[in-house]
Chain A
Amino acid sequence: GAVVSQHPSRVICKSGTSVKIECRSLDFQATTMFWYRQFPKKSLMLMATSNEGSKATYEQGVEKDKFLINHASLTLSTLTVTSAHPEDSSFYICSAILRLAGAQETQYFGPGTRLLVL
């Protein structure tokens, strides 16, 4: 299947600092990527849809100024957690859509980034 990578895999930061997480589609181009967060033993929660060359679309309750998303190329989307606080500690997962011939789509996920804010 298609490969999606994330970097870093784990990050620890101090409260008040900003953290950038990268999501890359390694062997395909993705005009659309998604960002999710997941708390322990809970399901994934969609945060935002990242569209190449345009502004991201955020889900209700997700602060766009807190979670900055940039999708500058067809293989890279970044999520920046600004002024991070301990409650932002979570597992962040990105995904990218692979479109096959005939327009069937499949969403492939990255390995996730564990963020711990002290």
Chain B
Amino acid sequence: LAKTTQPISMDSYEGQEVNITCSHNNIATNDYITWYQQFPSQGPRFIIQGYKTKVTNEVASLFIPADRKSSTLSLPRVSLSDTAVYYCLVGTVNTGFQKLVFGTGTRLLVSP
């Protein structure tokens, strides 16, 4: 299982774009990269998942360079409600099941 490294915390202001980078130097060929958001006393919420290049959905973008040793979650124009912990995980899919190991996550604080 690839280990991930993220900044412990980040601060931002409403309306700004936030980029959270995750390092996963030991990512395997079959590993996907998945990001989750967690609010206090709630289960993690799926944000986005990707394998390479760029993935975009209605809430975020995920940038993955060619070597796949890192990835960046981009949150456009954050609001106060985006204050949460963000987890980057890698796990092998397509081989039975994807066993995920959570790291420390990044605690994002959005201020007015």
Residues of B within 8 A of A32 (CB): 96-97
* Interface residue stretch chosen among A12-20, A67-75, A78-86, A102-110: A102-110
In the complex, how many angstroms separate the beta carbon of B105 from the nearest chain A beta carbon?
6
- With both beta carbons as reference points, the residue of chain B lying nearest to A30 in the complex is identified as B97
B residues less than 8 Å from A6 (CB atoms): 43
Q: Interface with A: B16-24, B44-52, B65-73, which one? A: B44-52
Chain B residues positioned under 8 Å from A107 (CB to CB): 34, 46, 91, 98, 100
B93 at the interface (CB under 8 A from A): yes
Nearest A residue to B99, CB-CB:
A49
- A60: interface (CB < 8 Å): no
For residue A46, which residues in chain B have a CB less than 8 angstroms away from its CB? 99-102
- How far is A90 from B94 in the complex, measured between Cα atoms in Å? 32
CB distance from A60 to the nearest CB of B (A): 12
Chain B count of residues within 8 A CB distance of the other chain: 24
Are A97 and B97 touching (Cβ within 8 A)? Answer: yes
Q: Tell whether, in the assembled complex, residue B46 and residue A1 are in contact, meaning their CB atoms are under 8 Å apart.
A: yes
Contacts of A54 in B (CB 8 A): none
CB distance from A2 to the nearest CB of B (A): 8
Determine if A43 and B36 form an interchain contact, defined as CB atoms under 8 angstroms apart. Answer: no
Convert B79-91 into 0s and 1s, putting 1 for each residue whose CB lies closer than 8 angstroms to a CB of A: 0000000010001
Q: From the candidates A36, A49, A91, A104, name the one contacting B41 in the complex (CB within 8 A).
A: A91
With A and B bound together, what is the CA distance between A1 and B35 in angstroms?
14
Of the candidates A4, A97, A110, A114, the one whose C-beta lies within 8 Å of that of B98 is A97
Whether, in the assembled complex, B76 has its beta carbon less than 8 Å from a beta carbon of chain A, the answer is no
Indicate which residue in B36, B41, B99, B105 contacts A109 across the interface (CB closer than 8 Å): B36
Cross-chain contact B41 with A105 (CB below 8 angstroms): no
Known: A1-B46, A111-B43, A112-B41. A104 touches B102 (CB 8 A): no
Q: Do A105 and B45 touch (CB < 8 A)? A: no
Most chain A Cβ neighbours within 10 Å, of B49, B91, B99 = B99
Q: Which residues of A contact B105 (CB under 8 A)?
A: 43
A111 / chain B contacts, CB cutoff of 8 Å: 42-43
| Residues of A that sit less than 8 Å from B by CB | 1, 4, 6, 31-32, 34, 36, 43-46, 49, 91, 93-95, 97, 103-112, 114
